[in-house]
A and B are shown apart, each in its own frame.
Chain A
């Protein structure tokens, strides 16, 4: 390492990442899709596409529509299921020299437990990220994340069945995100990631129909970044476990907003669609920022936000 190069390694609870930039779930496939363009091992980690016990087809098209500074998607958590993931995708991920996080979801508390159990003891998976934004089929379809008690139960179940660090991904579609954050922390989660997409809707005025076949979708991209930063700010104030910032990060400056606010790492998603090399550019920018300001370790920036009223 060059003397001038800042130390980009960060600790996120039990995880030690080579740098604070991860690829977000659902935007990086199973890791290989971007391989023709760059070595995914350059990233601090990758979070693979949300995995359920059984394969899932996803929603009918149209599934995406562009919005001002963002996009709305209703992919419907399409994925190949645990069995095929382990057979087809894992061997390549096991050889990948960076942190591999597997995003999991279920439609019942039991299903979350079963997915976590199926990944127990599997080498090459460094942590689980639990998506709690799904509808709870057994409880009238209300999303787990909207009920702190259900969020906690999912977390406990995954922790019981898993031997890996558990990151719970929080949804912004709640009144006060500190409530699920605290409940999940109390349940034993090792870390939190936030935010997931914000529920939205777009109407095609010519057709007088929703732009998406699913009617509603999840809003992502730079449009949601200030919401994400605000929520990270609220959560890092409230909990003691580490937080990973997610939501509209497209540049190094965006990533810095989250790190300074107190996130220990960031996930980049939609920006990687607009520019597949966005993550690498963010890494370069973080190094450059640290270097130009004489900061030796990126960890020294984390949580350095000043909120004294001086205006």
Chain B
């Protein structure tokens, strides 16, 4: 974990209102694992006050990492105004990433909207391990919003795209793309791991489909956070009953959880 003030080496709008920021900080780039996050603060003064958590979307070159974010409020609006050469405060890498392990078996990555960010990093890592090319499924509201691993991170990986309005790829939710993949895996008796990030409703559906198909499922959750270190207890989600504790901290126990650890009937309440 590092607290630093790296330079922004590139910053571009990759889709309307969605930006890719490249930060040159070798310590974080080297240590980070897919699914981990950083807390960013690009504002001086006290308003906005708190750092914002963002998944790391991949290693960029030798000594830099990327953050893919959508402008949704005051914090991200300030972030979007930063220019190449500016420095911002960064704390990370934080939290637990995806468990990829040494085991064989296939990976299916399913992302919704800007939730593809940690999955880009995971895909990049799996691709770097030789024969572990994952299936990459991504859903967006429409063609304009599409973020593909090739365009954003120059990964050699074709994504299957779904759009809600049908302007590109499959017309419907990304979970429609997941079902046939799971069916194939179940048929072949492959050990399959689904890794997902996106809106809570999508994740709940992904978790249910994976469970039904006998695949293991890991989800990356999002929450407002104050510290990112496990101290403020502000980022909790409801835990499933067998966890033995009522709440899990997204920053410390997560942000990547086994899907069965989360109480989906109460996930995402209040936050969008």
Contact = CB atoms under 8 A, between A and B. Distances in A.
B42 to A, nearest CB: 12
A273 B232 contact: yes
A211 B269 CA distance: 11
B49 A69 contact: yes
A27 interface: yes
A64 to B, nearest CB: 4
A260 interface: no
Interface in A52-96: 57-58, 60-66, 68-71, 73, 75, 78
Interface in B221-270: 223-227, 229-238, 245-247, 266, 269-270
Contacts of B269: 60-62, 213
Interface residues of B, number: 35
Interface of B is mostly: loop
B237 A75 contact: no
Given A27-B232, A64-B234, A71 B226 contact: yes
A160 interface: no
Interface stretch (A32-40, A228-236, A292-300): A32-40
B9 to A, nearest CB: 23
Contacts of B245: 57
B49 A36 contact: no
Question: How big is the A interface, by class?
Answer: 35 or more
B89 A275 contact: yes
A245 interface: no
Given A57-B247, A61-B237, A63-B236, A69 B271 contact: no
B59 interface: no
Interface of A: 26-29, 33-34, 36-37, 57-58, 60-66, 68-71, 73, 75, 78, 209, 211-213, 221-222, 250, 270, 272-277
Interface of B: 1, 3, 41, 46-51, 74-75, 89, 91, 223-227, 229-238, 245-247, 266, 269-271
19 contacts: A29-B230, A33-B230, A34-B229, A34-B231, A36-B1, A57-B245, A61-B247, A63-B233, A63-B236, A66-B75, A66-B224, A75-B233, A75-B234, A221-B49, A270-B226, A273-B51, A273-B226, A274-B46, A274-B51
